[in-house]
Amino acid sequence: MDLVDIGQQNLFGWFVERILDARKEREKRDVLFEEDPAATIYLASLLAHMAQAPWLLEVDRQGERLDMDVADKTSKMRSPRERLDGYRTAADRYLLHLGLWDGLQGRQVGRYYQITENNLADRASAYYGFAAHLAERMPPPVSRTAGIFAEFARNLRTYLGILLAMRGDILHLLPVLTPGEEFHLLGGAGGARGALA
């Protein structure tokens, strides 16, 4: 991921500034809730961590890390802290996948039903809610994260909108072409061979 001439700047600080810029742009068109500094800091640290792990970008870009059995996995975890981390990690992945990548494009099909982007956004909200509930019962400093997770549970779609605004204008992440779009862009089967030869 090319991060637009960040150079030696502090990546975390850069993301905080970009999130606030994207929020300011969105507020010109939409009525948003009051900005929560802790949630902004959490989102910036999540983005900075993602940017420092290039393998995570490639894997998540295809939606391969979206785990549909989160409840099953977390029920097998022994401690409330492990369950908290399981729910938070799943919610973070859904948030980044839906906010930065191209959505599902039909790649995630459940065994008995079609999984939609709205469905995943609802799951992310629920998982942040579960993480908030678990964090409330933990001793400090973990209990202080409960408010951040509750904020994401309540206002997930606003944070998705901020990420979507950042995706193209700030991070310059381009949409992935579907196989059909690639086929037509290259002029069909004959055009593809000619263009690649």
Q: pLDDT value at position 9?
A: 52
What's the predicted TM-score (pTM) here? 0.73
Q: Please give the residue range of the domain that contains residue 44.
A: 11-196
Please check whether residue 153 lies inside any domain of the structure.
Answer: yes
Question: So what's the pLDDT on residue 77?
Answer: 86
Q: What number of residues does the chain have?
A: 197
Q: Would 94 be classed as within a structural domain?
A: yes
Task: Please report whether residue 6 resides in a domain.
Answer: no
E strand segments, 58-143: none
Whole-number Cα distances in Å, 11 to 23, 49, 52, 60, 185: 18, 9, 9, 20, 36
In-domain check, residue 182 = yes
Task: Give how many domains the chain has, as a whole number.
Answer: 1
Written as tens digits, the pLDDT of the chain (197 aa) is: 333 444 435 778 888 888 888 888 877 777 666 778 888 889 988 888 877 665 555 545 555 555 557 777 888 888 999 999 989 988 888 888 888 875 544 444 555 555 677 888 898 999 999 999 999 999 999 999 999 999 999 999 989 888 888 887 777 666 655 666 666 666 655 544 444 44
| Integer Cα distance of 89 and 67 in angstroms | 10
Is residue 5 assigned to a domain? Answer: no
Q: Nearest-CA neighbor of 159 among 62, 58, 36?
A: 36
Is residue 132 assigned to a domain?
Answer: yes
DSSP 105: T
State how far the Cα of 139 lies from the Cα of 121, in Å rounded to an integer.
29
Amino acid at 82: E
